[in-house]
Amino acid sequence: MSGTILTLFNGLSLGSILLLIALGLAVTFGLMKVINMAHGELIMIGAYVTYVIQSLFLKYVPESFFDLYFLLSIPIAFFIAAGFGILLEVSLIRFLYKRPLDSLLATYGVGLMLQQLARSIFGAPNVGVQSPSFLNGGLTIGTLVLPYSRLFILSLSILCLVAIFLYFYRTTNGRRVRAVMQNRQMAECLGVQTRRVDLATFAIGSGFAGIAGCALTLLGPIGPTIGTYYIIDAFMVVVVGGVGALVGAVVGAFGIGFFNTVFEFFTSATIGKVLVFMLIIAFLQWRPSGLVSSRSRALDE
């Protein structure tokens, strides 16, 4: 029973990490149909922002206030990653709408440039980020120990999901975003400034990538290629869940995390990853549009 509960928790933990990484990608990919291969580097930016803030706290802030660095890093990582997202959208993405292959290649090149920039600034070796003291240890339940860091990432992913839901369904800007997703031409005819909606949405998606990078510092050392380890899994979550569907992203993330953990438990990490890919391929043969199909009022072209 303990082994089963631990396996379920590991699947839930991996699913929460994938959800946190894929949330921003689901927003941008769902709205603008842009394949942003630099999403992983936005995650890297959030991780390095956390490292820099930790270094500043170690140098200039009294030790008794050191734990505050991580709580401060979350909003700062969001805004800095969002700023990079705005710069990327204004300088490149806006010229590549409705050109998915061009956007894929261009953002892949931007990702390589950002990786090299990180190597030039911080060096090629990985760097460590010290976890705050309140996230050390774990919650003991009988013979089980559930790490506080994993529980924090789970709580953070749920909080981010609630924030996106409230933004989409409880604000005026969120209604504009959903209108553009359903029918861009009609939204323009009704006075919605779609260019501003695209820019704001891309910035929000990039900001959540920064939060994901901040959370990943709790799991181990970070380096210039930290985002590339997760970008494929993030795209799998978006495709399996359904493009632009938050509910589908949640189910896809936790489903992939659960099956990945179960397969690894009975086989190995490599074989488990292969089995997950095979399961996803079989699923997409059955439902090519994903778990949740987004309805559109636009005529099929």
Q: State what percent of residues in the chain have pLDDT above 70.
A: 94
Instruction: Phi first, then psi: give them for residue 291, nearest 5 degrees.
Output: -65, -45
pLDDT at residue 73, as a whole number: 95
Q: C-alpha dihedral over 54, 56, 62, 68, to 10 degrees?
A: -40
Assess whether pLDDT exceeds 60 at residue 283: yes
Winning range, highest mean pLDDT, from 18-22, 203-207, 244-248: 203-207
List pLDDT tens digits, range 133-186: 888 888 887 777 888 998 999 999 999 999 998 998 889 888 888 888 778 888
Assess whether pLDDT exceeds 50 at residue 126: yes
Q: How far apart are CA 190 and CA 184, in angstroms?
A: 10
User: What's the first-to-final CA gap in the chain, in angstroms?
Assistant: 53
Q: How far apart are CA 238 and CA 169, in angstroms?
A: 20
Q: How far apart are CA 114 and CA 280, in angstroms?
A: 30
Q: List residues bridging with 146 in a β-sheet.
A: 139
Under a CB-based contact definition with an 8 Å cutoff, are residues 224 and 8 in contact? no
Residue 5: which pLDDT band, with cuts at 50, 70 and 90? confident
Q: List residues bridging with 181 in a β-sheet.
A: none
pLDDT at residue 258, as a whole number: 87
pLDDT at residue 48, as a whole number: 96
pLDDT at residue 243, as a whole number: 66
Assess whether pLDDT exceeds 50 at residue 300: no
pLDDT at residue 299, as a whole number: 43
Tokens for 281?
A: 């391929």
Topology of domain 2-286, per CATH? ABC transporter involved in vitamin B12 uptake, BtuC (1.10.3470)
List pLDDT tens digits, range 235-262: 888 888 876 677 888 888 888 888 888 8
Winning range, highest mean pLDDT, from 114-118, 169-173, 190-194, 282-286: 114-118
pLDDT at residue 296, as a whole number: 52
pLDDT at residue 301, as a whole number: 44
Residue 31: which pLDDT band, with cuts at 50, 70 and 90? low
Rounded to two decimals, the pTM is 0.90
Tokens for 272?
A: 């488990």
